């Protein structure tokens, strides 16, 4: 999470959406950089609403901070997690994906109780608005980097050069139509939110 105080902007870090590269590029401009622990770096809207927003409003007398975040196409997002957990040093660990196919990974993801290797959360849940109205004001598709960067460059009055950070190993992945149908039927909020973005 990056907080740009003067610009009244908070960048929420949805995992596996390129936010580590954004953090590296923009941290020098930020007033607050939350890079550790992961539970705070990747604070979802509900955690931002519970802890950070009240701090800004009560301690700093500021109630007009705007949030920005990135969402990745759901199958691509799961593919990135699958590849990330398939790195060599993950072999033998409970959350490794070395011994499962991508189809098996996604089938495990759509179960009611997910095994460790497929327990990667939900973008829709991460970005879910709160009953008090706290929500992500500016939400961009990961696949439309030009639009995201144009917004950030304009808002922060800077040029941004991104490096490749925390990249999952390259791998050709295809989800079978049967499993994609399961994913779409059991996790509709992921696709509905993504498809609502222009």
**pLDDT 10s digits, 181-197:** 999 999 999 999 999 99
Q: Which residue has the higher pLDDT, 61 or 74?
A: 74
Q: What is the pLDDT of residue 112?
A: 82
Domain boundaries, the chain: 2-196
Residue 198: which pLDDT band, with cuts at 50, 70 and 90? confident
What is the model's pLDDT at position 33? 97
Task: For 111-159, give the DSSP string.
Answer: SSS--GGG----HHHHTPPPTTS---SEEEETT-HHHHHHHHHHHHTS-
Q: Is 9 helix (H, G, I), strand (E, B) or coil?
A: strand
What was the pLDDT predicted at 77?
97
Q: What distance in Å separates the CA atoms of residue 167 and residue 20, rounded to the nearest whole number?
A: 9
Q: How confident is the model at residue 169 (pLDDT cuts 50, 70, 90)?
A: confident
The reported pTM is: 0.93
Residues contacting residue 131 through CB under 8 Å, at least 6 positions apart: none
- Residue 71: both structure tokens together: 């969402």
Q: Give the distance, in angstroms, between the CA of residue 21 and the centroid of all CA atoms in the same chain.
A: 12
Helix, strand, or coil (residue 10): strand
Assess whether pLDDT exceeds 80 at residue 45: yes
Q: What is the pLDDT of residue 163?
A: 85
Where residue 108 falls among pLDDT bands split at 50, 70, 90? very high
CATH number belonging to the domain at 2-196, selected among 3.40.718.10, 1.10.3720.10, 3.40.1360.10, 3.40.50.300: 3.40.50.300
Task: List, for residues 63-104, the tens digit of each pLDDT value.
Answer: 789 999 999 999 999 999 999 999 999 999 999 999 999 999
Q: Look at residue 167 and tell me whether its pLDDT is greater than 80.
A: no
* Average pLDDT along the chain: 94
Check whether 57 has a pLDDT greater than 90.
Answer: no
């Amino acid at each position: 999470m990056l907080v740009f105080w003067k610009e009244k902007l908070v960048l929420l870090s949805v995992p596996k959406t390129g936010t580590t590269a954004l953090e590296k590029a923009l941290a020098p401009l930020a007033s607050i950089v939350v890079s550790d622990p992961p539970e705070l770096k990747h604070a979802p809207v509900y955690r931002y609403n519970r802890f950070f927003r009240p701090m800004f409003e009560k301690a700093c007398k500021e109630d007009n901070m705007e949030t920005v975040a990135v969402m990745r196409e759901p199958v691509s997002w799961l593919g990135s997690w699958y590849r990330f957990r398939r790195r060599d040093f993950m072999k033998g660990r409970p959350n490794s994906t070395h011994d499962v196919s991508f189809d098996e990974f996604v089938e495990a993801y759509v179960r009611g109780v997910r095994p460790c290797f497929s327990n990667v959360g939900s973008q829709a849940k991460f970005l879910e608005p709160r009953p008090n109205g706290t929500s992500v004001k500016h939400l961009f598709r990961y696949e439309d980097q030009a639009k995201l960067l144009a917004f950030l460059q304009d808002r922060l009055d800077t040029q941004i050069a991104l490096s490749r950070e925390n990249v999952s190993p390259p791998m050709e992945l295809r989800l079978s139509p049967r499993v994609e149908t399961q994913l779409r039927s059991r996790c509709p909020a992921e696709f509905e939110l993504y498809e609502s973005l222009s």
